[in-house]
Structures are given as structure tokens and as C-alpha cells.
Amino acid sequence: MSSNKTNPNPMLSPTLVKGNAEEEFVLLKNGLPQRIHNWQVVKQLGKGASATVYLGKSLIDKNLVAIKQFSTNLFQNNQHSTAYRKMMMNEANLVGRLIHPNILQTYSVGFESEYKYLVMEYVQMGSLDEKINKPNELGLSEIIRIFFQCACALQYSDEIGIIHRDIKPANILLQSSFIPKITDFGSSMKKGDDINAISGVGSPAYMSPEQICEQPLNQQTDIYSLGISLYEMISGSKPFAATTQYETIYKILNKEIPPISDFIKNTLPSRLIKILKRSATKKQDRRYQNWSEIIFDLSLLLDEIYSQKQKYSKIDQISAFDWLRQCSSLKMFDDNELWDLIEIGEIYQVGFGTQLEIDFNEPDIEALADMNQWTFESSSEQPSAFSHSFILSGGIQVYNPDNKISVLISGDYLADLKPIITPKLNDQIDAYSIDNTVILMIEQQKINTIHPVVKNKLTTLINISAETQKAIKHKRHNLDQKVYTESDLIISDTQSAKSNSSSDRKS
């Protein structure tokens, strides 16, 4: 590393620090960063024992980010520095792989220069941990929504072979409207890795019995930790509260989880209590075996709680225009052309948790043009079939026939979407709305009724979108690509990780 100073006193003028990897720069003034690589520092958001967090702004597109700059003393102690370095390398190797609306995106990791940092997606509302103990901050509907979306995100993470291992309210950040963002994948492990090489991380109050006992781990350890987090969200208390870490571990291994009725007065839906018990039971054979089981049970719960209108509703034309104008994939259309799309299509809002059935067969535009198989029941708000659909807002998680999960977000294209309002036990789970999702749906036969210019643009968009969607699916599910470039990227210094997990990592 080299340092270029414009003034002998670095406290009086900016200092440019250049790292030796990917040309990382940190511009300092008065001991504080003004710029880190391609991000300008706007202000300090918070400071803890292990790191300082800044609000940053991209110098390229002006988007806001959060910059977490780690304390230099973390990397000066040889015993502990290896563990923290490997956590950062874990984060670096996952950049661009975990693409999900409920997983916090990491844009850049700088660990070669003196000033080590993470550049991440910025969220406005802080962590879930900060909301739990505030009366009336989270209602039951918000709690169920957060739990559902976190389950979808961890199902996606599990599908590409990643176990988080440190799920807790402090690692669940909240965007506006209480949309959760799971963060801190520095402690994650690749499924199937040797437990002896990656043990010793996590927060004891949320660790599964098998994680405490350093047994082989799978997705059930994250299921347990999220279940304990759900218990705390509802009750405001940890189920195994204790004054010492040893006492916490003893209770987790030997005590049954206290009935949640011990902490709350209100009656909870019986299905929610069942989900809570089955998520957080210490016996793995009685716990949910996978995330699909939880998501399905949650869909049944949501079906009981929410009305038909909350789950699926048509949007009026004026509001529909606003959604179309906001969608980046429709920028090629001018205002008049968007109104043409509204005239031939329908726009619906799909409530989170709504089960959908999606056919991803590639659309053959020419073959479909003359077919008269698309129908719409005018007496119902629910269309029976639409050949072309675009997500205008929110996201959908899809279970493909090849058992790979696709996450479709705003701007993505779907073919042949058929909503199913009431899930049944015998139905195959194909897809769920993971947020309040707005979708434009257009019947193929109606495309022929619009102006030729609009038709050509729409046909071009459909073809481009179909190809783009295939590329996105390939990128998100390129499982042949190794998650970690070296086997030693996972933490092997278990003692140092254990000694710091409850203090430094929380900060």
C-alpha cells in the first residue's frame, strides 16, 4: 500500500490512500473518510466497537448505500484478524450470487487496503432487533409478513447451497413498509462442508442445539434460528433468556421452549402457534425439514387471515398508469402508448403470500397470434389465463420443474401466469408472491388490436424480456461456479470466532 499526501499534516487536508487490489481508494479529511472507491461519504450513521457505518452516495448513479468501515484494531491482532479477514472474504465471494428482494445486497468489499469496508444496500428503518421491544411498533400482520419473506429468502439461499448460521433480529434489517432484508453472510457456510472447519460462529441465544453441539448442519439450523426470532417478535422476549451464555446454552439443550401464552395476553391463530412450535423445536425429526413446508403452512395461515381483496385485486386505470410509468422495462413506451397497454391489459395487485401457478414455456409469438384459447371471465376479478405478464413492483419466488428457484423482481417478464387464490394440500407449489406485487397481464389475442407501432414495441419487449429472463435464471443458478474460491475462506479459527461472536459481531 502507498499513500499520497498533499500536505504534511493529514488532519488538515485530504489524504488519498491506495490499496493494491482493484484500485481501492479511501479519501480522508480530518481523520474521517470523504470518499471510498466510487462512493462519496455523506454522513456517519452509527459507530460500534468493531465498525463505523456511513451513509454513502454512488458517484456513478447517485444511489444511496451504507458503507461499513471496520476498525483497524480488528486486523492487528494475529489471533483474531484471520477470522475477520475470512468473514470479509466470505462476503466478497457472495457478491452478485444472492439476488433476492429480501437479502441485503453487497456491492463491494475492500479488504486489501488499510481501510477495510463493505459497501451495501442502504435501508432506512434499522434492524428488526430495534423494533421488537417498542410497544405497538409491529402488529401481527407485519410480523407474519416479515417471517414469510425471510423464509422465502432463506429458501432461496438454501437452494444455491448457502446456510446463513447467524439468523437473529439484529441481522434482519427493515426497509420502508417493514420489508425485511437479511444481512451478514460473513458467517455463512456452504452446504456439505466439514463441520470441524467452520464451527464456532453464531449468536448463542438463537443457535440450534445441533449448532451448539458442533454437529453437521443443514437448512434446519436456519429454520430453528428464524423460529426463535419469530417467538421474540411476537412475545418481545427470548424463549431462553438467561444472565450468562452458559445458562442460555444449558436451557437450549435441556429445556422445552416456554408456551408463548406465558408472555402475551392476546389469542394467536392456532396455525401460527403450530408454525412457531414446529420451527423452534429442538428435535430435528419434529422440526420442519425444509423451507417449502414452512412457506406452504404460512400460505394456509395467510389464506385464513386475509380477505380475497387483500390477496388479489384489480387496480384502477389512473393508478395503473402510474405503475406502468414507474416500471423500467416499459420506458420505450411514451404516455399515449402506455394508455394503449392499459386498454388491452389488466393490472392486478397480488398480496404477499398469495400462491401462483406459473408456466415458463417460451412464448411463440407467431403461433399464438392466431390462437383463440385465451379467456377472461368478465364476472370475476380473477383472469383465467393471460399469455404475457410483467412484474411492475414487488417480487415472486418460483419453484421450477427442475427444482431450482427463480426470483422474479420488478421489471421481470412472465409467460402464462394463472393465479390460484385458495391453495389446496394436493396442489403442487409453483410460486408465491414474496411482496405486495403489481403485475401487468395482457392476452395475446388483444395484442393484434392495438396500433402497429405499439404492437411492434410490445412484441420486441416480449422477445427481449424472454431472453433476458433466461439469462437471469442462468446467472442466479449457475451452481457449477464455486461459492468460495479457496477452502480456507470459511472461518477455521473457531476459538477467536467464539470469543468475539457475542460482542464484536453484534456491534
Q: Which three cell numbers stand for residue 480?
A: 457449477
The rounded distance, in Å, linking the Cα atoms of 39 and 463 is 36
Question: Where is mean pLDDT largest: 106-120, 137-151, 345-359, 396-410?
Answer: 137-151
Confidence of residue 487 (pLDDT cuts 50, 70, 90): very low
What secondary structure does DSSP assign to 179-220, as a single string? EEEE---TT-EETT--HHHH-S-S-GGG--HHHHTT----HH
Query: What pLDDT was estimated at residue 92?
Result: 74
**What average pLDDT is seen over the chain?**
77
Q: At what angle do helices 219-235 and 291-305 cross, to 10 degrees?
A: 30
Q: What is the CATH number of domain 308-476?
A: 2.60.120.10
What helix, strand, coil percent values describe the chain, rounded to 5? 40, 20, 40
C-beta separation of 37 from 108 below 8 A: yes
pLDDT of residue 386: 58
Interatomic CA distance for residues 42 and 122, integer angstroms: 12
Confidence (pLDDT) at 475: 64
φ, ψ of residue 67 to 5 degrees: the values are: -115, 115
* Main-chain dihedrals φ then ψ at residue 476, nearest 5 degrees: -75, -20
Stated as kind and residue range, the H or E segment containing 387 is: strand 386-393
Q: Has residue 51 got a pLDDT over 70?
A: yes
The pLDDT of residue 228: 95
Q: What is the DSSP letter of 410?
A: T
What does the pLDDT look like over 150-193, one tens digit per residue?
999 999 999 888 899 999 999 999 998 899 999 988 888 877 66
| Lowest-confidence pick of 102-106, 119-123, 418-422, 488-492 | 488-492
> What residues have CB less than 8 Å from 424, skipping those under 6 apart?
none
In the prediction, which pLDDT does 377 show? 34
The pLDDT value recorded for residue 85 is 74
Tally of helices (H runs) and strands (E runs) in the chain = 16, 22
Write down the pLDDT at residue 267: 84
Between 305-309, 459-463, 489-493, the lowest mean confidence (pLDDT) is in 489-493
CATH homologous superfamily of 2-121: Phosphorylase Kinase; domain 1 (3.30.200.20)
| 402-412 pLDDT tens trace | 667 888 888 88
Mean pLDDT along residues 351-365 = 68
Region at 177 (left for phi over 0; alpha for psi -120 to 50; beta for the rest): left
More confident residue, 97 or 281: 281
* Sheet of strand 25-29, all strands in order from the earlier edge strand to the far edge: 2-5, 15-18, 25-29, 32-36, 39-47, 51-58, 64-70, 117-121, 106-110
CATH numeric code, 128-305 = 1.10.510.10
- Predicted confidence at residue 148, as pLDDT, reads 96
First to last CA, the chain: 28
pLDDT tier for residue 313 given thresholds of 50, 70 and 90: confident
Q: What's the pLDDT at 68?
A: 87
Please write the tens of the pLDDT for every residue from 428-456.
Answer: 557 899 988 999 988 878 888 899 999 99
* Averaged pLDDT for residues 261-282: 89
Which range (20-29, 115-124, 223-232) has the least confidence? 20-29
Q: Which residue has the cell 395503473?
A: 320
Q: What pLDDT score does 108 carry? A: 82
pLDDT of residue 324: 93
Q: Among 39-53, 167-181, 361-375, name the one with the lowest average pLDDT.
A: 361-375
Is 337 or 196 the better-scoring residue by pLDDT? 337
Place of cell 465471494: 93
* DSSP assignments along 421-488, one per residue: SS--TTSPP-EEESS-EEEEEE-HHHHTTS-HHHHHHHHHHHHHHHHHHHHHHHHHT-TTS-S-SSGG
User: What is the torsional sign of CA 123, 126, 129, 135?
Assistant: negative
Task: Tell me the CB-side half-sphere exposure of residue 412, using CA atoms within 13 A.
Answer: 23
Question: What is the per-residue burial (b if ≥16 Cβ within 10 Å, else e) of 372-403?
Answer: eebeeeeeeeebebbbbbbbbbbbbbbbeeee
The alpha helices in 95-139, defined as continuous H runs, are: 128-132
pLDDT, greater one: 44 or 4: 44
Specify the pLDDT at position 507.
33
Mean pLDDT of 413-418: 70
pTM listed for this prediction: 0.81
Which is higher by pLDDT, 80 or 142? 142
Q: Assess contact for 483 and 90: CB atoms under 8 A.
A: no
Q: What are the residue boundaries of the structural domains of the chain, listed by start? A: 2-121, 128-305, 308-476
How far apart are alpha carbons 127 and 124 in whole angstroms? Answer: 9
- Per-residue pLDDT band for 253 (boundaries 50, 70, 90) equals very high
- What local confidence, expressed as pLDDT, does residue 113 receive? 66
For residues 30 and 14, the answer to whether their CB atoms sit within 8 Å is no
| Band of pLDDT at residue 220, cut at 50, 70 and 90 | very high
Amino acid at 190: K
